[in-house]
């Protein structure tokens, strides 16, 4: 099963993808994480991506596709993937269809997480993650059981993203509306679109997604 989670910054794509991963044995594939990995290891793609990401703009389709292609061939993806933050442009969506078709696969569902812009700014601005395992937390909405310690792995180091400031989040939202939101119609036209409200509680949204994905697996 191959799923896409579509939605603006802070919609909860990463949060929900990690929960679906545990529930269904699918593998989360986040182009944001892949690009941050490339930045951290200083590869040519990472060096080119860094300034663009820090500004909140979209990285070129060429770089994103190169990073994704490499990962999409991973042997751990046999059961399927949850694409988180990809595709983000129509060119990426078309390239993805081609890549999957070559493997005899397709997109089974594109799930659009619907949220209000103001709520996004608050979610992204308060966010941090465990440096060791990547589990996500939030100053107001999701604190670890013990302050400063990861629930999942016991790690004691938390980190915040360079692009999670109010100004950059606004640019990221604009990029979403201009370049990514048209994909809702792209998948609607192909009969694979499902829309889910992502304004409620994390566990309520997770239950909605479980019901959708459960029918596909």
| Binding-site residue set | 10-15, 31, 36, 57-59, 85-88, 92, 127, 130, 133, 150, 153, 161, 172, 200
Measure the CA–CA gap between 10 and 124, rounded to whole angstroms.
Answer: 5
**3-state SS class at 85:** coil
Helix (H) or strand (E) holding 93: helix 90-102
Among 3, 7, 38, 112, binds ligand AP5 (CB under 6 A): 7
Residue 46 binds which one of ligand AP5, Zn ion, none, with CB within 5 to 8 A depending on kind?
none
- From the list ligand AP5, Zn ion, none, partner contacted by residue 156 (C-beta under 5 to 8 A by kind): none
206 binds, among Zn ion, ligand AP5, none (CB under 5 to 8 A by kind): none
CB atoms within 10 A of CB 95: 19
Active site residues: 13, 88, 127, 161, 172
Q: What angle is formed at CA 113 by the lines to CA 20 and CA 17, rounded to 5 degrees?
A: 20
Q: Which residues bind ligand AP5 (CB under 6 A)?
A: 7, 9-15, 30-32, 35, 52-53, 56-59, 64, 85-88, 92, 123-124, 127, 136, 138, 141-142, 172, 198, 202, 205
Q: Which residues bind Zn ion (CB under 5 A)?
A: 130, 132-133, 135, 150, 152-153, 155
């Amino acid at each position: 099963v191959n799923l896409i989670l579509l939605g603006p910054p802070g919609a909860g794509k990463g949060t929900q993808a990690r929960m679906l991963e545990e529930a269904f044995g699918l593998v989360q594939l986040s182009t944001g994480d892949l690009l941050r990995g490339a930045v951290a290891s200083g590869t040519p793609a990472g060096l080119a991506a860094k300034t663009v990401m820090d500004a909140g703009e979209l990285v070129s389709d060429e770089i994103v596709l190169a990073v994704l292609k490499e990962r999409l061939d991973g042997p751990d993806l046999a059961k399927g993937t949850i694409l988180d933050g990809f595709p983000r442009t129509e060119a990426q969506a078309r390239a993805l269809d081609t890549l999957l078709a070559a493997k005899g696969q397709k997109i089974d569902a594109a799930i659009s997480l619907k949220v209000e812009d103001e709520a996004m700014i608050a979610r992204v601005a308060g966010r941090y993650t465990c440096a060791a395992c990547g589990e996500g937390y939030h100053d107001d909405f999701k604190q670890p059981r013990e302050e400063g310690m990861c629930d999942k792995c016991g790690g004691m180091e938390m980190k915040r993203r360079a692009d999670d400031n109010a100004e950059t989040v606004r640019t990221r939202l604009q990029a979403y509306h201009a370049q990514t939101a048209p994909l809702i119609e792209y998948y609607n036209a192909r009969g694979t679109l499902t829309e889910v409200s992502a304004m409620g509680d994390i566990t309520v949204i997770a239950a909605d997604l479980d019901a959708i994905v459960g029918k596909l697996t």
